[in-house]
Every structure is written in structure tokens, then in C-alpha cells.
């Protein structure tokens, strides 16, 4: 089992921080230490200077800048566990967070110390399993299979990640524009078509990974 306390960085607004603090007020046997930072640069500084098991991000903070922060943290720290804290009242926000690179999505309304602890343990276990697979000896292919053209896995991953990021940006901005429009004319219908096309493209991208 895990003897030492998990160290987690949090970046988000006061309301989410209050709910997180309340969830951790009586952690029982859950070994968690959550430290709040007030900006993305401070988050990167803390990650560079210390050892942290996870980052908890308030994804709808500052007019959904939290979604972009998920993407930025994932780009700089590919192996870190990113826990996206989201409100269930906002539709598809958890899906957008996962598309941006979040490891787990936790609803703020149901947030508990146990849920946070379980999410971190799960992410660490997955990371260890991936490490074991990466160290496994390569499979020897027959000469016939070697001659077949193959699309480089690294290039496919890069393209898939770029597409996911693009679709996330398109969908998030479409949502923001839809909230600002007060009519139900062609503008609203156009935004609905954009969101529908982005969702279809995201589903297709997940199928071809």
C-alpha cells in the first residue's frame, strides 16, 4: 500500500477551493496533502521544484481557462496525473477535460477525500503498468509482416493529440459564443452545427487511436 502522503497541487477559483477544503476536512485514513497555487506560472514552478503525485485543476475557472491549463500542464508534464474538477451542471465539461489531457474527472458536487485518493492511486497504478509494458521486449515480426508499410505510432499520437486539442478549442469557444447569443437565428444554428461536427470528429478520433 502507499505509506507516504500524496502531494497534490491545486489551481482554481475560491468556490472550488472551498469545496475541496471541506472534502478534506476529515480525511480519516486518506493520506492527502493539497497545496493551492494562484497562477499557472506558480504551478509550473512548484512542479519543477518539488515532487508531486498529481495536479487538481478547476476546469471551469476564469471563464473556462482551466480547460486550457489542462492542455498546457499535459504538454509540459506528460506523466503527471491531472485531476479535472468540474461541475455536473455544465454539460460535456468532463468530456472536454479528458480530450484536453486530464487523467481523471471528478465532479465537485460529489468530491470526497476518498474519491480524490482513489483517483490518484488509479493514475499511479496505470503509470506503473505503462512503464512495465514499455520495458517489455519487442515482439519479433515475421519477414512478411516487416515488409508491410506501417504508420509510425509516434506520428499517429502527435496527430491525434493535435486534433484533440483543436476540437477542444473549437467546442469550448462555440459554447461560449452560444451563451452570448440571445437570438435563435442562423448564428445559433451555425454554432450547433459546429459543435455537432466537432463531437463527431472527436468520436472518430477516439475510434482510430
Domain locations in the chain as residue ranges:
6-134, 149-207
Given this model, what pLDDT does residue 168 score? 64
Given this model, what pLDDT does residue 176 score? 59
Given this model, what pLDDT does residue 145 score? 41
Please list, residue by residue across 70-95, b when 16 or more beta carbons sit within 10 angstroms of its beta carbon and e when fewer do: bbbbbeebeebbbbbbbbeeeeebbb
Nearest to 38 by CA among 77, 64, 20, 12: 12
Residues of the chain whose pLDDT is less than 70? 1-4, 26-30, 129-169, 171-193, 195, 198, 200-209
Given this model, what pLDDT does residue 125 score? 87
Given this model, what pLDDT does residue 1 score? 41
Q: How many whole angstroms separate alpha carbon 159 and alpha carbon 157?
A: 5
Q: How much is the pTM?
A: 0.61
Given this model, what pLDDT does residue 11 score? 97
Distance from CA of residue 141 to its chain's centroid? 35
- How far, CA to CA in Å, does 100 sit from each of 44, 172, 190, 207? 18, 11, 24, 17
CATH 3.40.50.2300 fits 6-134, yes or no: yes
Amino acid at each position: 500500500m502507499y505509506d507516504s502522503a500524496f502531494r497534490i497541487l491545486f489551481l482554481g477559483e475560491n468556490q472550488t477551493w472551498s469545496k475541496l477544503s471541506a472534502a478534506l476536512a476529515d480525511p480519516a485514513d486518506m493520506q492527502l496533502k493539497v497545496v493551492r497555487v494562484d497562477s499557472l506560472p506558480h504551478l509550473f514552478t512548484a512542479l519543477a521544484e518539488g515532487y508531486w503525485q498529481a495536479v487538481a485543476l478547476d476546469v471551469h475557472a476564469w471563464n473556462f481557462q482551466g480547460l486550457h491549463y489542462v492542455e498546457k500542464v499535459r504538454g509540459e508534464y506528460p506523466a503527471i496525473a491531472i485531476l479535472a474538477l468540474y461541475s455536473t451542471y455544465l454539460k460535456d465539461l468532463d468530456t472536454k477535460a479528458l480530450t484536453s489531457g486530464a487523467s481523471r474527472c471528478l465532479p465537485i458536487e460529489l468530491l470526497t477525500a476518498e474519491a480524490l485518493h482513489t483517483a490518484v492511486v488509479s493514475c499511479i497504478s496505470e503509470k506503473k503498468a505503462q512503464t512495465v509494458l514499455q520495458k517489455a521486449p519487442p515482439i519479433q515480426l515475421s519477414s512478411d509482416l516487416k515488409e508491410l508499410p506501417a504508420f509510425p505510432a509516434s506520428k499517429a499520437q502527435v496527430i491525434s493529440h493535435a486534433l484533440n486539442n483543436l476540437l477542444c478549442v473549437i467546442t469550448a469557444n462555440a459554447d461560449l459564443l452560444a451563451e452570448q447569443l440571445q437570438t435563435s437565428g442562423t448564428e445559433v444554428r451555425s454554432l450547433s452545427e459546429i459543435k455537432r461536427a466537432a463531437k463527431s470528429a472527436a468520436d472518430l478520433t477516439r475510434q482510430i487511436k
